[in-house]
Structure 1
Amino acid sequence: METYDFSQPQRQSVKGIAIMFADTLQGIIRGLWAPLLLVLYKMDWTKIFVVFGFLVLVLLIIGVVAYLKYKNFTFYLDSNRQEFVIQEGIFSKNKVTLQLNKIQQVNINQSIIQKMVGVYSLDIDTAGSTKKEVSIRAIDFKMANYLKEVLVASEKTKTNEVATDFVEDSVLKINLLTLIKVGFTSNYGRSIALIIGFFGTMYNGIYDFKETFEVDEQEVEGYIDQSIAYFSFSFIILLILIVVITLNVGRIVFKYFDYQIKKQNESLVVSHGLIAKKNTLLKPIKVQSALFSQNFFQKKLNLFTMELNQASSNDGFEQENAKKGTIEIPGCSDAERNNIMTMIYGKMTKEKEVLTPNFRYLLKAVILTIIVPVATVLILGLFVLPEIQLYFPLILVYLVFVGIVLWFKFRNYRMYVNADFIEFKRNAWEVQHQFLEVYKIQGITTKQYFWHKKADVAHITFHTAAGDVGFKFAKYSKLKNWINYWLVEVERSSKKWM
């Protein structure tokens, strides 16, 4: 049994000097890569020794800065105040104090450079912050694992008595084949966005290069036109599809390789990563919302994707970008999903009351996504731009496709309620189920426009520490009794959830 005494200020591993040197150098290159390329292009190579001497001087300065960062960075635990204290700074000293009971997530990560040096970083997040509070960039794995357990332990735990030989039980392990299946069946939108971003960046880079180095624009366009002529439209579509799938599979495997969830005492340990390793420790009690989703292909493969949302300052659950405090589970079976949900919530009552949306939910979607855009195209084609009339037959394809999507979206839009949980079901293709525990709700907002009163329709929004989630066009008379129950339950509940 190995223990560490953090009552006295500790420094990072001496190898941290190399990490801080690499971080500083990387930041300079990222910020100044364009001017550096221009300088290299315009440089008088007869003065190579002067340039070499200048580079050596810059590297020496970066080395001194890295050493001072290492020397002045210390951390320790104040067991009396139950605080974790970090001191850093070269010229101005900064002191960061974190209350142990407010720490919600601690991650152990390892980048490529850290793997080469043989150290890990410990990133600490607290509820209500949009970024990590503290990052210790260079410590060994045993110390990082010990400190991680101490920081997420209960405030009643004595910090000098925590051991590193924790009992671990395997909960979930995702193999390579499952990750490939996930890559083939999900996240196409994200991959397409990455491709568009890549080509957009490449285009801007080519334009800047042309402007800087005075490249003949007609010559460049000639090469591009000549290249496009070799490809038919169908081949380009096929090529894009192959690129999207390949990129998606590669991204999933790269990010989630060797994905494992283990139960360590009262916490869950999540680890994954092919090159850059990530290791996260979280307490199930701090999970504010659990979400699982499945599309048509994944249903045939008995495959689910999941998200566990913790407290965050970001509002809303339906953001495409990865949110702080969100643990992603890229693929699991029905049995594994049920096991994870049981670990987080315990036994879940299956009896639920179903709330369905009023037909106005579908009507609003039809007006915004069918009537308005189709009418706009028709008016433009008939009275402003006659050449658009050539594409009028595509309107029928659009109507059929969007109509089917809206119908399934309306049919899947449901809210299920009982005494302990609220479940939201949504989406047409990738159907999501999201769960909230009643006692973790922080507030409830209902909105009813005057034209909705006669129709007995209202919108409801639940405010939680992980963001807001709502249900629109619900039957108010059916919802009112539940709202009163939820508000009373939130007020009288003494359960701990942070």
Structure 2
Amino acid sequence: MNSNFSQPQRQSLIGVVVMFADTFQGTARALWPFLIVWIWKIDQYNKLYIALVVLSVILLIAIVAYLKYLNFTFFLDEKNEEFVVRKGILNKSRIAIPLDKIQQVNINQSFIQRLIGVHALEVDTAGSNGKEVSIRAIKESLAVSLKERLLEGAQEAIADDNEFAGESSQAKQANRPFIQISLLSLVKTGITSNYIRSFAVLLAFMITIFQNLEEFINASGYDDNPLDNYINADVLLQFISFIVAAIIFLTLVVNLVRTIVRYYNFRITKQQNGLLLSYGLLNTKNTIIRPEKVQVVTVGRNYFQKKFNLNDLKIRQASGMEANDRDQSKSAIEIPGCNETEKNVLLQFLLEKIPERGVMLKPNFRKIIFETFKFLIIPIGIFFLFAFKFTPFIKEYIVFVPIYGVFAAILIYFAFRNSRLFVTDDFIIKQSGAWDIDNDYIAPHKIQTISLKQFFWQKGSDVGIVTLHTAGGTISFGLANFTKLNQLVNYWLWQVETTDKHWM
């Protein structure tokens, strides 16, 4: 490989290992149900047959990986000012990206790539949802040169501001991080975030294990469960307490390990036109944030994080207009474990000033009634309908209905109490959440379109829902006073039409 990008060239030959790993992972994900069944019944098959099948699959994946390497080329078309990538084994494709459309070039490194000494270079463009092109195996020096060349073509003035961290000792000296998330902050973040989701996943996993154990005992031909002779009320209570404690402990451990592995050595380097984020223990990631591309900034924290002086930031930049909110949320850039000072520094840099709360708008009390029907009455009603009409075996889980009812009612109440909309001349702030309280910050000039809805049955109560559409996703607020929402919409539209600021 050479730095003359005007000629088509392939990735590093050692990168075949990366492509083999990618192909193997994709195959395993596609066939995982069959693999589980096969492993479960492995004793029923001939060992020689199993070995031949495994070797054949590995050989086939290796051939596919090599063909991917052989058919993947990239070069710069100087005449048309395009970055061109050709790839495909049977279905050949040619991707041509105009240099002036390139918004971001990231150099990342997974664990396997680190072992074999290559990097991945990913190119994002204006109007794309996610990465447009990914070169999976390229040497660091070549990746840095190509990154500089692509960004020079996109914007001449920022070529020197997008050097890859680690390019040289001189660059490291010049680009020292002005914010670095400490290991202690990551530990605090790991034990205070995402535990509800992790707890639910682990609980479902444990329930599945017990169900499989019960099915195994029944299939063994026992008339009675053999464990019944050893279990009394005290033993059962102790066992349940142990299981709950074990799940809570595993939840904390899983969150802690996941946070440290993902965000280890999180550094933010301030550059002339943006921020360079570098992080990761096994998979090293580097990404650039430019203030002009930032559409929505979300600051979130819960009760424990507030006590620890922690804030989690999520930054949504301009991307494809066709992307839905779920995709936008997944592609958001996260900065975990910021203290109050670091949060304010980042907000000042990204939004040009620290947002302040202004006029407050609360939702109508009908919102809590609607949420109660949606998340409490309807789910419980469906459960009883199936329990007594279609699937009687789920009656044994009826003991969990009161627990769900109390838990859902608490979440609905606090979500309603925390739902607020704050409006100033410079920012729109939406507050939401039952336990994790999120504040979404939007500048009015970032708004693309505004939707104001009111169903016919809401006219008598004068309530409605407003949705702000940006290039980084949507923000909705309701059910609130429709007259006030209409006044705010007219004010925001006037701001968008009269401002001299651009959305990107």
Fold similarity call, TM over 0.5: yes
Please state how far the C-alpha of 1:390 moved relative to its aligned partner: 13
**Is the CA contact 1:4–1:160 (under 8 Å) kept in the aligned structure 2?**
no
Going from structure 1 to structure 2, the CA distance change for 1:57 and 1:352 (only over 3 Å counts) comes to: closer
Q: For 1:220-259, what aligned pairs fall within 5 Å after superposition?
A: 232-259=239-266
SS of the residue corresponding to residue 434 of structure 2 reads: coil
The DSSP-based 3-state class of the residue aligned with 1:424 is strand
Aligned counterparts of 1:97 and 1:460: Cα–Cα separation in 2: 39
How far apart are residue 246 of structure 1 and its match? 1.2
Partner of 2:469: 463
Aligned pair in 2 of structure 1 residues 105, 190: CA closer, same or farther (>3 Å)?
farther
Shift, 1:222, TM fit: 6.3
1:328 aligns with 2:337: no
**Counterpart of 1:353?**
359
Partner of residue 300, structure 1: 307
Query: Secondary structure at the residue paired with 1:293?
Result: strand
1:162-177 correspondence to structure 2 within 5 Å: 164=163, 167-177=174-184
Identical-residue share of aligned pairs (%): 38
- Give the gaps of 5 or more residues in structure 1: none
Match for residue 294 of structure 2 among 276, 287, 297: 287
Which of 153, 166, 187 does residue 194 from structure 2 map onto?
A: 187
1:137 and 2:136 aligned: yes
Counterpart position of 1:420: 426
C-alpha distance 454-62 of structure 1, shift in aligned 2 (>3 A)? closer
The question of 1:343 aligning with 2:343 is answered no
User: What is the Cα deviation at residue 197 of structure 1?
Assistant: 6.3
Q: CA offset at residue 401 of structure 1?
A: 5.6
31 and 297 in structure 1: CA distance in 2 versus 1, 3 angstrom threshold: closer
1:228-261 CA distance string (max 9 Å, x none): 9785221221111111111111111121111122
Does the CA-based 8 Å contact 2:151-2:159 persist in structure 1?
Answer: no
Distance 1:125 1:393 in 2: 47
Letter in 1 for 2:324: D
Q: In the TM superposition, what is the alpha-carbon distance from 1:327 to its structure 2 partner?
A: 0.5
When structure 1 is superposed on structure 2, of 233-242 and 278-287 the one drifting more is 278-287
- The superposition leaves residues 253-291 of structure 1 with CA deviations (integer Å, 9 ceiling, x where unpaired) of 121111122123312222222112222223222121100
Q: Which runs of 5+ in 2 are unaligned?
A: none
1:453 aligns with 2:459: yes
How many angstroms apart in 2 are the aligned matches of 1:189 and 1:142?
43
Could you tell me which amino acid in structure 2 is paired with residue 255 of structure 1? R
Name the CA shift for 1:145/1:267 in 2 (closer, same or farther; >3 Å).
Answer: farther
Contact 1:6 1:160 in 2 (8 A): no
Contact 2:15–2:136 under 8 Å retained in 1: yes
Which residue matches 2:11? 12
Shift in Å, 1:139: 0.8
Partner of 2:113: 114
Does the Cα contact within 8 Å between 1:422 and 1:437 map onto a contact in 2?
yes
Give the secondary structure class of the aligned counterpart of 2:282.
Answer: coil
Q: Where do 1:37-76 residues align within 5 Å?
A: 37=39, 41=43, 44=46, 62-76=61-75
* Deviations, residues 166-198 of structure 1 (Å, cap 9, x unaligned): 552423211221111111111012312442565
Q: Indicate the RMSD between aligned Cα atoms, in angstroms.
A: 4.3
Higher relative contact order (CA 8 A, sep 6+): 1
- Contact 1:150–1:159 under 8 Å retained in 2: no
Change beyond 3 A, Cα 1:232–1:487 = same
| CA distance 1:47–1:475, shift in 2 (3 Å) | closer
Letter in 2 for 1:18: V
Moved more, 84-93 or 326-335: 84-93
315, 320, 333: which one pairs with 2:324? Answer: 315
Match of 2:496 in 1: 490
One-letter amino acid of the counterpart of residue 448, structure 1? Q
Match of 2:97 in 1: 98
SS at match of 1:420: coil
Question: Which amino acid counterpart does residue 115 of structure 2 have in structure 1?
Answer: M
Pairwise CA distance, 1:345: 0.9
* 1:75-90 paired onto structure 2 within 5 Å: 75-90=74-89
CA distance in 1, matches of 2:127, 2:230: 51
Is contact 2:328-2:473 (8 Å) kept? no
Amino acid in structure 1 at the alignment position of 2:109: Q
Amino acid at match of 1:111: S
Counterpart of 1:315, as a letter, is N
How far apart are the structure 2 equivalents of 1:261 and 1:70?
Answer: 34
Which residue identity lines up with residue 306 of structure 2 in the other structure?
A: K
Matched, 1:275 2:282: yes
Aligned AA (1:277): T
In 2, are the aligned partners of 1:415 and 1:471 still within 8 Å (CA)?
yes
Cα distance in 2 for partners of 1:226, 1:103 equals 69
Alignment of 1:362 onto 2:368: yes
- What letter is aligned with 2:180? K
CA distance in 2, matches of 1:32, 1:376: 33
Residue 271 of structure 2: aligned partner: 264
Structure 2 distance, partners of 1:38, 1:374, is 36
Shift of 1:292: 0.7
Question: What residue identity is the alignment partner of 2:194?
Answer: N
Q: 2:438 aligns with which of 429, 432, 435?
A: 432
Mark the CA change 1:64 to 1:227 in structure 2 (over 3 Å): closer, same or farther.
farther
The CA distance in 2 between the partners of 1:359 and 1:274, in whole Å, is 47
Tell me whether 68-77 or 424-433 shows the greater mean CA deviation.
68-77
Q: Supply the AA of the counterpart residue of 1:109.
A: N
Matches of 1:183 and 1:161, distance apart in 2: 36
Letter in 2 for 1:357: P
Which moves more between the two structures, 129-138 or 459-468? 129-138
Distance in 2 between the 1:433 and 1:42 partners? 56
Q: After superposing the two structures, state which structure 1 stretch, 271-280 or 77-86, moved more.
A: 77-86
Aligned partners of 2:68 and 2:89 also within 8 Å: yes
**How far did 1:133 drift?**
2.5
1:425–1:58: structure 2 CA closer, same or farther, 3 Å change rule? closer
2:482 to 476, 479, 496: 476
Structure 2 CA distance for partners of 1:159 and 1:234, relative to 1, 3 Å: closer
3-state DSSP class of the match of 2:177? strand
